[in-house]
């Protein structure tokens, strides 16, 4: 079983690995049922979805209909105005078939103009705080992609008491000194404020090559070698402050979950992590410039 630890100051003990329900965005009913069995096998009790993840919320609703108390449910809104965020939250509640979500997150809040709108009077933060007071949500978080997000999360936390943050975290991205420094500072802020830290892109290999003509189950090309996948999972979980959100490529979940279940708390040798990147011909999926946006 995968370890359960406090999810920041929320009062919930979440599995260190969080199910990224983007994997359900275009799934069949039978695949959905298979994934629930896999989650149960490894003790996954935290689901992360979003209004923009295709049919994901509708699939999660099937699970919640019988087992709402078994899962901490997080969703996301990409809306920036108060009215837009409220309307999207209400649609998510309807699609999920529940009267509340445990965590609502502002999705990919990194652009300056959007940041200002969110925190302005009549913005999404004000609206979601009101929804929290009404009991429609229990906690509020903020997420983001790219190499600017760790610094932007610091600004967001200074502006509002978010309960969680989410950002990219992998060996290859942390080899970029400026990003590594921003992440380290953010982790210190989150530790001081007891803010939960979720990570994404742990198993990213590179962006899809132009000549790839096979199926794409995630927007980036993931690592596929089981040993490299295991080391990438252990790299994240070796930091006790971090949660790992899984890839949308559900084919990789058995290896990811087993790696987490087997983790003994130690960190992989950086030499081995470097060798994995070389063998996979890996490249950063974000670079702070041309590759900043997904």
Q: How does pLDDT run across 221-264, given as a tens digit for each residue?
A: 999 999 999 999 999 999 999 999 999 999 999 999 999 999 99
DSSP-assigned letter for residue 26: T
Specify the fold of 4-279.
TIM Barrel (3.20.20)
Contact call for residues 93 and 99 (beta carbons, < 8 A): yes
What own/partner pairs with CB < 8 Å and gap ≥ 24 does 205-211 have?
205/280, 205/281, 205/282, 205/283, 206/280, 206/281, 206/282, 206/283, 206/284, 206/285, 207/283, 207/285, 207/291
**Average of pLDDT values for 141-159?**
97
What percentage of the chain has pLDDT greater than the value 90?
A: 87
Tell me what pLDDT residue 96 has: 97
Mean per-residue pLDDT over the chain, rounded: 95
pTM: 0.96
Q: Which of 40-49, 81-90, 205-214, 278-287 has the lowest mean pLDDT?
A: 205-214
Cβ burial 15-32 (10 Å sphere, 16+ → b, else e): bbbbbbbbbbbebeeeeb
For residue 76, the SS3 value is strand
Residue 29 — pLDDT band, cuts 50, 70, 90? Answer: confident
Q: Tokens for 199, please give them.
A: 């990570």
Q: What is the tens place of the pLDDT at every residue in 169-205?
A: 999 999 999 999 999 999 999 999 999 999 999 999 9
pLDDT (tens digit per residue) in 53-62: 989 999 999 9
Are 286 and 255 contacting, i.e. CB atoms less than 8 angstroms apart?
Answer: no
């Amino acid at each position: 079983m995968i370890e359960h630890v406090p999810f920041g100051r929320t009062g919930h003990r979440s599995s260190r690995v969080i199910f990224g329900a983007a994997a359900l965005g275009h799934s069949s009913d039978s695949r959905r049922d298979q994934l629930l069995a896999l989650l149960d096998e490894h003790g996954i009790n935290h689901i992360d979805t979003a209004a923009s993840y295709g049919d994901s919320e509708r699939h999660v609703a099937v699970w919640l209909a019988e087992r709402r108390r078994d899962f901490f449910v997080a969703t996301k809104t990409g809306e920036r105005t108060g009215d837009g965020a409220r309307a999207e939250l209400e649609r998510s509640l309807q699609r999920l078939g529940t009267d509340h979500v445990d965590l609502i997150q502002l999705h990919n809040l990194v652009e300056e103009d959007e940041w200002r709108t969110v925190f302005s009077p009549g913005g999404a933060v004000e609206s979601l705080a009101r929804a929290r007071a009404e009991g429609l949500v229990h906690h509020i978080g903020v997420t983001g992609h790219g190499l600017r997000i760790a610094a932007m999360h610091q600004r967001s936390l200074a502006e509002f008491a978010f309960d969680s943050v989410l950002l990219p975290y992998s060996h290859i991205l942390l080899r970029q000194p400026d990003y590594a420094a921003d992440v380290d500072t953010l982790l210190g802020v989150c530790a001081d404020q007891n803010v939960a830290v979720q990570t994404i892109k742990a198993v990213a290999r590179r962006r899809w090559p132009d000549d790839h003509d096979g199926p794409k189950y995630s927007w980036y090309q993931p690592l596929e070698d089981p040993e490299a996948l295991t080391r990438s999972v252990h790299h994240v979980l070796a930091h006790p402050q971090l949660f790992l959100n899984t890839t949308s490529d559900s084919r990789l979940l058995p290896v990811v979950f087993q790696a987490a279940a087997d983790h003994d708390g130690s960190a992989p040798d950086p030499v081995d992590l470097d060798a994995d990147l070389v063998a996979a011909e890996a490249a950063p999926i974000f670079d702070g410039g041309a590759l900043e946006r997904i």
